[in-house]
Amino acid sequence: MSASGSTDCVLPVDVLLEAKTTARATRRQVFATMSAGLACVAVGSCLGWPSPTLARMSSPHWRWPGTGIAHQAHRQPRPLSGDEGSWVVSLMDLGVVLGSLPAGWAADRWGRRPILLLSAPLFVVSWLLVLVAEGPEFLYAARLLQGLASAVAMVVSAMYAGEVSEDGLRGTNSTLVAMLLSLGTVLSYSVGPYVTYRALACALLAVPALFVMCFCWAPESPHWLLAKGRRLEAEEALRYLRDGDTTSSGPLLVCAEADRIETAIVEASPRGTAGTATLLSAARELLLVSGPDRAAFLLVLGLVCIQALSGSDPMTAYSAITLPGGYVLDADQVVIVFGVVSTVSTGAGAVLIDRVGRRLLLIAFASLQFVSLLGSAVYYSLDERTEVDLAAVQWLPHTALVLYGVAYPIGLGTVPNALQMELFSTRVKGLALPAILVSFNVLTFTVSKLYEVVWHAWGKDVAFWVFSVDCLLAVLLATLALKETKGKSFPEIQDLLDPRRKQRNTPTWPS
């Protein structure tokens, strides 16, 4: 019997031979993931917005748009100061910190789908604040709201993508979400330099509306439905996602998958129930109980902390004002190329992660990221601390930024996100993912706030040297601690994380 009292589905051999993912099932899972990932396009557009906007708002001739245009000509210019600009960049990260744990708790209580849809009105209100801003305080409030909305979008879309996907598609779908986030950043990079402040805000305001239009039809996560004891609704969602009505064996396969998910939920529950554990119980499992969930938490937490300290936020928000004068392209155009390359690389990561594997991908591309940061660090050290003429290598920081755009999305930008979608049991996922996101954004908030301070106090090169060393730590951690999870089922992954679990679950037979 399954956890809900229904009869387990025992599959005959001919049905097992027919158990292949159809093209339509693949399309449905990818489309469900991408529709949820449109919320991350909104996140990316918020991340990329400061890059083309900060230089404009810091201009001596900048006037705040306010609530009307008629009185604009009579206003005195009020440029944004460097300190105010750093707050505008970093307060989004603080909003993510504040919103991550409530987002995970709410998604566990009320479901992935309704909570993810809730992010849209928060994005809309934030862009309305940008449109009517009469001072930096409006932008501070807008960026905090964008952080709260981004917390919901990133936490819940990660849960959703991992739970609607089959084992063979899980890595690809998780990477698609990251690619959509990069696409949102490219949108800000590409539109921002060529339109007015108001026009950019209006363009980005359309993104959450598109997300609602596409995601409102999507099914609820079958994992969440089964954890809540709603077996019939879960089977209906699985029939759609697995194209379970196409073949005669489809209903049996759907029933068998529902049984497997229920079994995993029951095994993960400390008291043998299928309900979601309390936050205190989940916290105990993650921090105090030796087992696969704690091993996964420590590994992913280490990786995302390294990810946060590798410079992704300063590269996204400050590149347009950090880069030296143009070589072939000016700084804004190089940033657009950087954004496009990042998006394409994220798409490449979606293809590679389930073919090459998580471990090799992280080692190779974290090493490439180290090379790109090392090039920038050397250039800025020579530029700021010596009298060497760098005219012949003026291309170096521009090329290094583009190389960073190749390396980061495939390595540190993809692998930790894929791992956090597949390593945790349903019982602790509602706490583990927000806790990881909080840790990530506490560090990115710190890096974003201090980047300009360090730049002006000690030089640009100091930050790039720190980022370079951080990438070496990523290579070391991946080499020593990361196990390959490509194509493995959840029980197999749990056995990798805790070998003692496999020994306990292996039956012993009398001789």
Higher pLDDT, 24 or 499: 24
Judge if 336 and 465 occupy the same domain: yes
In a domain, 503, yes or no: no
Q: Indicate the DSSP class of residue 489.
A: -
pLDDT in tens, 363-421: 999 999 999 999 999 999 998 888 888 888 888 989 999 999 999 988 998 888 888 87
Answer yes or no: is 186 within a domain. Answer: yes
Residue 126 counted as domain residue = yes
Banded model confidence at residue 163, pLDDT cuts 50, 70, 90: confident
Name the band, by pLDDT with cuts 50, 70 and 90, for residue 14: very low
What pLDDT was estimated at residue 1? 40
Residue whose tokens read 């879960």: 234
Residue 234 shares a structural domain with residue 303: no
Nearest to 164 by CA among 276, 268, 243: 243
Residue 427 resides in a domain:
yes
Let me know: does 155 contact 424? Beta carbons within 8 Å: no
Q: DSSP assignment of 422-439, as one string?
A: HSS-HHHHHHHHHHHHHH
Per-residue pLDDT reduced to its tens digit, 231-256: 999 889 888 888 776 666 667 888 88
- Please tell me whether residues 260 and 300 are part of one structural domain: no
Q: Are residues 346 and 208 in the same domain?
A: no
Cβ atoms of residues 203 and 42 within 8 Å: no
What pLDDT, on a 0 to 100 scale, did the predictor assign at position 75? 61
What number is the average pLDDT over the span 343-371? 88
For 207, the domain range is 21-65+77-218
Find where tokens 């400390």 sit: 270
Residue 12 predicted with pLDDT over 70 = no
The number of domains in the chain is: 3
Q: Are residues 403 and 434 located together in one domain of the fold?
A: yes
Q: Are residues 344 and 366 in the same domain?
A: yes
Mean pLDDT of all residues in 90-105:
88
98 belongs to a structural domain: yes
- In terms of Cα–Cα distance, which of 39, 40, 31, 29 is closest to 413? 40
Q: pLDDT tens for residues 20-75?
A: 567 888 888 889 999 999 999 999 999 989 988 888 888 888 888 875 544 555 56
Nearest alpha-carbon partner for 181 in 77, 312, 310: 312
Rounded average pLDDT over 85-109: 88
> Which of these, 62, 41, 40, 44, lies nearest to 53 by C-alpha position?
62
As a whole number of angstroms, the longest Cα–Cα distance in the chain is 94
Share the mean pLDDT of the chain: 82
Q: Identify whether residues 179 and 235 lie together within a single domain.
A: no
Residue 490: give its domain's CATH number: 1.20.1250.20
Q: What is the pLDDT of residue 327?
A: 65
Percent above pLDDT 90 for the chain: 29
d(CA 88, CA 239): 45
Give residue 266's pLDDT: 75
pLDDT digits (tens, 9 = 90+) for 409-452: 889 988 888 888 778 877 777 788 778 878 888 888 888 888 87
pLDDT digits (tens, 9 = 90+) for 110-139: 999 999 999 999 999 999 999 988 888 999
- pLDDT of 2 strictly over 70: no
CA–CA distance, 168 with 179 (Å, rounded to integer): 18
Encode 180-200 in three state secondary structure. HHHHHHHHHHHHHHHCCHHHH
- Residue 118 sits in the same domain as residue 87: yes
Residue 38's φ and ψ, nearest 5 degrees, are: -60, -25
**286-295 per-position pLDDT tens digit:** 787 778 888 8
What is the residue type of 265?
A: I
Q: Report which residue type is found at 457.
A: A
Q: For residue 500, what pLDDT is reported?
A: 67
Distance CA 442, CA 454 (A): 18
Q: Are residues 214 and 346 in the same domain?
A: no
Q: Does 145 map to a domain?
A: yes
Please indicate, yes or no, whether residues 182 and 254 belong to a single structural domain of this protein.
no
- From the list 402, 342, 409, the residue with the least C-alpha distance to 175 is 409
Distance CA 465, CA 91 (A): 25
Same domain, 250 and 349: no
The answer to whether residue 9 sits within a structural domain is: no
pTM of the model: 0.72
List pLDDT tens digits, range 298-329.
899 999 999 999 988 888 777 777 787 666 77
Helix extents (H) in 165-241: 167-191, 197-215, 222-227, 231-241
pLDDT at 493: 80
Question: 42 and 124 share a domain?
Answer: yes
Supply the DSSP symbol for 272.
S
Are 434 and 387 within 8 A, CB to CB? no
Q: Which residue has the tokens 């049991």?
A: 425
**Rounded distance between C-alpha atoms, residue 322 and residue 315, angstroms:** 9
Residue among 190, 224, 46, 50 nearest 120 (CA) = 46
Q: CB 79: neighbour CB atoms within 10 A?
A: 15
Number of helical (H) and strand (E) elements in the chain, helices listed first = 22, 0
| Model confidence at 15: pLDDT above 80 | no
The verdict on residue 50 lying in a domain is: yes
* C-alpha to C-alpha distance for 438 and 122, rounded to whole angstroms: 19
